Amino acid sequence: MNNVQVVTADMADPFSLHLFLNTAYGPAKAGFLRAHGSWWHRGDRNRLVLLCGDQIAAYCGVIPTQCVIQGNKYPALWWVDLFVAPLFRGLGLQSLLDERIKRMGDLKLGFPNALAASVHRKHGWGLRGDGTLLILPLHPADVKQVRASIGLRHVLLRSAGQALEPAAALLRHRLGRYEPRTARLVQQPDLGQWADVFARYKPNGLATTDRDRDFIRWRFLESPYRSELAFYAAGPLRAPTHCLVARHMSSNGTSATRILDLFGDLSDAVTLRDIVTLASRDAMQRGATQVTAMLWLPSLRSVFRSIGFVFSVPARFCWHSGSMLAMQSIASASFYWTLADSDNDQPD
């Protein structure tokens, strides 16, 4: 195509870009990107706009990160939000953006939906689908998946949720009486201390995000929704063994909690259960309809299910690198991704 160019978001017309994003993703996400896109992507240079003449035809972004993969550190990019306007589909614009992304960094990561997963597989990406979104249904008839359903499916899901309400009431009663062992709410993470918890306990066989001081500061302390975050630690006061970040949020008249991050001694099931139960108790006391977490390790799923996280949705992960060593290293690793990774913690 003639007169096609890829520019960064700070070079595009702000009003035109906002209208495009509103059409692509809806008003909530478009508004968030307009106000906080530079923070979300760690700079507008990491948000790409494809122009055909003077029209915006496509958009995507990356989120720079650093991963620890089987003990080795790799810079990487989460590739997110690829959208090509219907008028311009079938013209190879996705390939143009793909080439541009490849020049920005070697290792690309993502959490694809079913359609994107099949496309990535054809293009040589690694793909695994053994992750899980686990949900603690504090008020089953009002969880997001029920409220978002329509027609007969909504009627059936809401009826099932109402049938589960007596069991949920018992769960809420049990959580309300919970007294933590060593888990506690902290006002603000000590960056050095929290980074040290991750460094001390990260297993060599994992592929996960490097939770250093810079990541914790950017992802949580500098977040535009910092007031919605709650920080928890467990273990000895001066040398905690576990850290957890929860986001208590409200949307469309309902409250929900996301466990954005959890790290530390993953072999200590007792303390893991203690810190997750405390965060869930606080969510219940705030009136949350549900608590959601992303899990990849079977041992952690067992811990969460013992607390009451009984609803589940599959999660997929994909990766691509020009390095065969990096591709194989990720493929053979155990995954540990959370809702703080990529764009999982999106505005509703």
Residue 347 lies in a domain: no
**Percent of the chain having pLDDT more than 90?**
76
Q: Please give the tally of structural domains in the chain.
A: 2
- On whether both 10 and 78 belong to a single domain, the answer is yes
Q: Is the pLDDT of residue 213 over 80?
A: yes
Q: Is the pLDDT of residue 79 over 70?
A: yes
Q: Is the pLDDT of residue 123 over 90?
A: no
CA angle 63, 64, 70 (to 5 degrees): 120
pLDDT recorded at residue 166: 83
Q: Is the dihedral of CA 294, 295, 301, 306 positive or negative?
A: negative
- On whether both 204 and 74 belong to a single domain, the answer is no
Q: What is the CATH number of the domain that holds 37?
A: 3.40.630.30
Domain boundary residue, one of 105, 124, 155 = 105
Higher pLDDT, 233 or 142: 233
- On whether both 233 and 97 belong to a single domain, the answer is no
Average pLDDT score, the chain: 93
Residue 81 lies in a domain: yes
pLDDT, mean of residues 221-238: 97
- pTM, full prediction: 0.94
272-301 per-position pLDDT tens digit: 999 999 999 999 999 999 999 999 999 999
Residue 151 lies in a domain: yes
CA angle 112, 114, 120 (to 5 degrees): 55
Which positions ≥6 away from 26 have C-beta within 8 Å?
none
Q: Which domain holds residue 155?
A: 132-336
pLDDT recorded at residue 30: 96
pLDDT recorded at residue 124: 86
- On whether both 199 and 285 belong to a single domain, the answer is yes
Higher pLDDT, 163 or 183: 183
Q: Is the pLDDT of residue 308 over 80?
A: yes
156-181 per-position pLDDT tens digit: 767 767 878 888 899 999 999 999 99
| Whole-number CA gyration radius for the chain | 21
Q: Is the pLDDT of residue 98 over 70?
A: yes
Domain boundary residue, one of 55, 86, 105 = 105
| Residue 182, number of CB atoms within 10 A of its CB | 17
Residue 313 lies in a domain: yes
Q: Is the pLDDT of residue 323 over 80?
A: yes
Task: Give CA separation, 314 vs 58, 135, 302, in Å.
Answer: 28, 12, 16
Residue 111 lies in a domain: no
- On whether both 86 and 151 belong to a single domain, the answer is no
Domain boundary residue, one of 69, 86, 105 = 105
Q: How far apart are CA 332 and CA 315, in angstroms?
A: 18
- On whether both 37 and 80 belong to a single domain, the answer is yes
Q: How far apart are CA 87 and CA 148, in angstroms?
A: 28
- On whether both 142 and 96 belong to a single domain, the answer is no
19-62 per-position pLDDT tens digit: 999 999 999 999 999 999 999 999 999 999 999 998 999 999 99
126-161 per-position pLDDT tens digit: 999 999 999 999 998 877 777 777 777 766 767 767
- On whether both 176 and 323 belong to a single domain, the answer is yes
Confidence of residue 1 (pLDDT cuts 50, 70, 90): low
Residue 168 lies in a domain: yes
- On whether both 23 and 66 belong to a single domain, the answer is yes
- On whether both 150 and 93 belong to a single domain, the answer is no
Residue 341 lies in a domain: no
pLDDT, mean of residues 103-117: 90
Residue 264 lies in a domain: yes
DSSP conformation letters of 29-64:
HHHHHHHHHHHHTTSGGGEEEEEETTEEEEEEEEEE
Confidence of residue 101 (pLDDT cuts 50, 70, 90): confident
pLDDT recorded at residue 203: 81
pLDDT, mean of residues 62-67: 96
- On whether both 169 and 69 belong to a single domain, the answer is no
pLDDT recorded at residue 183: 98
Tokens at 128, concatenated: 């695994």
**Percent of the chain having pLDDT more than 70?**
98
pLDDT recorded at residue 236: 97
pLDDT recorded at residue 348: 64
- On whether both 257 and 316 belong to a single domain, the answer is yes
